[in-house]
Structure 1
Amino acid sequence: MEAAPSVRTFSPSSSSSAGARPCLLLAGPASRRARGLAAPPQPRAVASSRAPLVVSSPPPPEASVTPAPAHAKVDRSGRFCSPRAARELALMISYAACLEGTDVVRLFDRRISARREPGFVFDKACLLSYNHMSFGGGPLEVGTEEEAEKLTSQNEKDSANEEDVLSAPPKLVYNNFVLRLSRELLVAVASGWDKHVDIIDKIIPQAWKDEPVARILELCILHIAMAEMTSKGTPHKVVINEAVDLAKRFCDGGAPRVINGCLRTFVKDHVDVAGTSQGAESKS
């Protein structure tokens, strides 16, 4: 892939609808996370990519206010150090590259080397509150306006926290291992882009083909997962589970289920036991 496809417009898909009974619906975590994915050059500029989702059940009081360092997985320097963070960063860069119509590796290098704005300050404490395993769900029904206001306030705080993390300069958020792994994934995405475009076109549902611009996130997840399977030697089950979790965090509707099915088809028809592309092996 010389460069990611240029995108002129972006049409967010429709949000989940409420049930028959009257209830108060609150925007869920998937919508606020999608706002940070555009990864624009300016640290505080964040684009929205999805219509709001709603969460299925109210979080326990202690979970809504207590940081979750176990999920954050930070090292001694206070930066993210897990492979999941690397995949998340690769998705953020891939998505932004599609919106800008630029090469994913070139965009990654540009973001890494970008100078911070004068006066920019990043509070590393927000990394401890960031949860890589926070997923959205269905409608949430609450009994009183007070409960609704409380949960809405907590959603807004979580949204601001995640916005700070996802839009901060990568070197302040991720350690060298994560940055290196993320770049390796993006190099694999770039080198396998053309081949995987043809495969993806055959295995995704027709509805996604009819609205490709509204499915940029989902298609980027597929590209990253396929590239990791064929270039990194990561076990297929691990890659599929990670891709599904990314879809649960950043996409809406039935995207996790569709991505799971697409990747299983990809493994069955296009990847051998060793994890290499069958098409590439047959040519050699």
Structure 2
Amino acid sequence: MAAPAAISIFSSSNSSSVSPRPRKRLLAEPVSGRSPRTLQPPPRTVASSRAPLVVSHPPPTPAPAPGHPKVDRSGRFCSPRAARELALMVAYAACLEGADVVRLFDRRVAARREPGYVFNKASLQSYNFMSFCGGPLEVATEEEAEKLMSQNEKDSANEAEVLSAPPRLVYNNFVLRLAREMLVAVASGWDQHVEIINKIIPQSWKDEPVARILELCILHIAMAEMTSKETPHKVAINEAVDLAKRFCDGGAPRVINGCLRTYVKDHMDIGTGHPSESKE
């Protein structure tokens, strides 16, 4: 019997039987002439210019507590959240380019800087891992709306600079090592997790899997963390939901939360942290 469409979309990057059509798997053949894409949060815009003005932007979130700095003494990101974000960017790019996730990561980390390139490390201090695309906000005047839009533009430019910079300039060795371990776990558990993902995602995601590559990558990373890295499932789920809040839109965070809770309930032995036999 032929495999369901959603399963045929996802195949291991080292599979010997590979369909030449990109829609047949995430890690497909390389797409010629396509430059690497940088993952960025969805744009935030002012939805109305009439009073009250509605601005699609969440209120600013507080900076990390001094006891949990996001930047170490070398001036680079040092938190596990940065590693998850980096792993997601590479996994997403690998799916778009048809590359092996681990090889793409190694290639990006080893890439030399272009002559004359200068990275502004001050951008790391203002980069906010907790900047989520929330619901619309109301402002009273055009001046407030313009001020908020101006701040949005600065934040977006800052995020673009950070996420497109060479990884060694942005992340310390701990983050680079952790991100690579996550991607190795994603690659090794890909085929097994594909079958489970096909059972737990909604039908609408199965119907348009290519439009949900980002969300599916988040699921793969979270499931790989729980099974291979033995990350507590509550931590992995919360981090996956936060990634969805940052980089996805619509109801993706809620769906990802539900899918991962179903995965833990039906496909994991919570006592040992290891996968259990799948329930039919």
Distance 1:16 1:197 in 2: 35
| Length-normalised TM-score, structure 2 | 0.79
Distance 1:122 1:181 in 2: 23
Unaligned runs of 5+ in 1: 27-53
Output the amino acid matched with 1:55: H
1:142 to 139, 142, 153: 139
Superposition RMSD on alpha carbons, in Å? 2.9
Q: In the alignment, does 2:158 pair up with 1:161? A: yes
- Structure 1 residue aligned with 2:273: 275
* Alpha carbons of structure 1 residues 275 and 147: separation in structure 2 relative to 1, 3 Å: same
2:111 to 114, 132, 140: 114
Matches within 5 A, 1:72-83: 73-83=70-80
Distance 2:264 2:64 in 1: 34
Q: In the alignment, does 2:274 pair up with 1:247? A: no
Output the amino acid matched with 2:276: Q
Deviation, structure 1 residue 254: 1.1
Deviation, structure 1 residue 24: 3.9
1:191 to 180, 188, 193: 188
- Structure 1 residue aligned with 2:101: 104
Distance 2:45 2:153 in 1: 19
Distance 2:194 2:266 in 1: 15
Distance 1:17 1:204 in 2: 32
Matches within 5 A, 1:26-175: 26=55, 54-56=56-58, 58-59=59-60, 73-175=70-172
Distance 2:184 2:233 in 1: 19
Distance 1:116 1:274 in 2: 44
- Structure 1 residue aligned with 2:35: none
Note the alpha carbon deviations across 1:201-254, whole angstroms, 9 max, x for none: 110111111121221111000000000100011111111111111111111111
Deviation, structure 1 residue 5: 2.7
- Structure 2 residue aligned with 1:34: none
- Structure 2 residue aligned with 1:5: 27
| Length-normalised TM-score, structure 1 | 0.78
Deviation, structure 1 residue 114: 0.6
Note the alpha carbon deviations across 1:143-190, whole angstroms, 9 max, x for none: 222111111110000001011110000000000000000000000000
Output the amino acid matched with 2:121: K
Output the amino acid matched with 1:6: A
Task: Give the % identical residues.
Answer: 75
CA contact under 8 A between 1:79 and 1:172: conserved in structure 2?
yes
* Alpha carbons of structure 1 residues 82 and 59: separation in structure 2 relative to 1, 3 Å: closer
- Structure 2 residue aligned with 1:177: 174
Note the alpha carbon deviations across 1:82-121, whole angstroms, 9 max, x for none: 1111000000000000110111001000100111111100
CA contact under 8 A between 2:244 and 2:252: conserved in structure 1?
yes
- Structure 1 residue aligned with 2:209: 212
Output the amino acid matched with 1:141: E
Q: Secondary structure at the match of 1:274?
A: coil
Give the stretch that moved more between structures: 223-232 or 268-277. 268-277
Aligned residues, how many?
Answer: 245
Deviation, structure 1 residue 279: 4.0
Distance 1:76 1:136 in 2: 30
Distance 1:180 1:165 in 2: 19
Output the amino acid matched with 1:96: A
Unaligned runs of 5+ in 2: 1-11, 15-25, 32-41
**Higher strand content, 1 or 2:** 2
CA contact under 8 A between 1:91 and 1:224: conserved in structure 2?
yes
Distance 2:274 2:237 in 1: 16
Deviation, structure 1 residue 142: 2.2
